[in-house]
Amino acid sequence: MRHPCGEDFIASTFLTQHPEYKWQEPYLKDMNSNPWTLFEANR
């Protein structure tokens, strides 16, 4: 599970910008983005 925009999600930064989500702090984890992998079907 990652952001489709390719940005990292840093919980502490998010909570600083959105204090209304402070109650979710125990559940939020940092998520580093990774490059997308594209799959193609052989026809």
What would the DSSP string read from start to end of the chain?
---TT---B-HHHHHHH-GGGGGGTTT---B------------
Domain boundaries, the chain: 1-34
Tens digits of per-residue pLDDT, 2-42? 556 778 889 999 999 999 999 999 999 998 887 777 888 98
Bridge partners, residue 31, by sequence: 9
Bridge partners, residue 9, by sequence: 31
Residue type, 8: D
| Alpha-carbon span 25 to 37, nearest angstrom | 30
What is the reported pLDDT for 12?
95
